[in-house]
Homo-oligomer: A and B are copies of this chain.
Amino acid sequence: MSNPATTPLTHIVDDDEAIRDALSWLFRTRNVAARAWASAEDFLAAWQPDWQGCIVLDIRMREMSGLECFDALLERGNTLPVIFLTGHGDVPMAVGALKKGAFDFLEKPVDDNALVDVVIRALATNARHQANQETQATVATRLAQLTPREHEVMQLVLAGKFNKVIADELNISMRTVEVHRSRVFEKMGVRSAVELAQLLSPRD
C-alpha cells in the first residue's frame, strides 16, 4: 500500500464501481498511481493534509455529493488539485467550482487521453505547490528561531540601513547590532544581506 503522504496518488472518488474500475485501469496503463474510493465520506475520513497527488471527484453520488466533499476539503485546507467529473453539470455549478479553486471540470463521457492529460498536469501542479510549501516551511521555521531583538534588527537590515543608523534607532551600540546581525544571518542560513533579502522576498 503506497503512502499518500510521500507517493503522489490520483484519488478516484465515485460511487459507481464500473467507473472506478475503468479509471483505475486507465491510470494503471498510463503509469499513474491511483486509489479508488466508493464514497466521498470514505475518502474524507481517510484524507490527510499532507497527501500528495490529485483528486478525480464525481459530482453526483448517493450520499455526499462531490461539491459537498469539495467544500469540506477546502475547509480542511486541502491543497490537492481537484478535477470534477459530471454527467449533468450546469454552468453556474462549473463556474462556481472553478472559482473556488477546482483544477478542472469535465463532462462525461470523458476522453481517456484528455483525462490523463488533465491528471498529469494536476500532479505537476501539486508537485510545484509542494516544493513551494516546503521552502516556505523552512523559512518559517528559521524565522521562528530568531529572538525578538534579532527579528527587529533584521527588519532594519532589510530596509537597507547602515549598522550605525540601526544602532541609533534602537539606542544600542554598533557592536550589538553586529552581533544580532551576525546571528540573524547564521540562523537564516545566509551569508549576506542580499541573500537574506532574496530568501524573504514577497511572493504571490
Q: Which residues of A contact B (CB under 8 A)?
A: 86, 89-92, 94-95, 98-99, 104-107, 157-160, 190-198, 201-204
Contact = CB atoms under 8 A, between A and B. Distances in A.
Kindly list the 3 A-B residue pairs having the minimum CB-CB distance in the complex, ordered from nearest.
A201-B201, A197-B197, A160-B192
A165 to B, nearest CB: 12
B99 A104 contact: yes
Contact of A195 (B90, B94, B105, B160): B160
A201 B98 CA distance: 30
Specify how many copies of this chain sit in the oligomer.
2
A133 to B, nearest CB: 14
17 contacts: A89-B91, A91-B94, A94-B94, A95-B104, A95-B105, A98-B98, A98-B99, A159-B194, A160-B190, A160-B195, A192-B193, A194-B194, A197-B198, A197-B201, A198-B201, A201-B201, A202-B203
Nearest to A204: B204
A157 B90 CA distance: 55
A76 to B, nearest CB: 24
Contacts of A86: 91
Given A203-B204, A204-B203, A204-B204, A194 B95 contact: no
A192 B203 CA distance: 21
Contact of A160 (B91, B98, B107, B194): B194
A97 to B, nearest CB: 9
Nearest to A89: B91
Given A94-B94, A192-B160, A202 B201 contact: yes
A194 B157 contact: yes
Contact of A91 (B99, B105, B192, B196): B105
A99 to B, nearest CB: 7
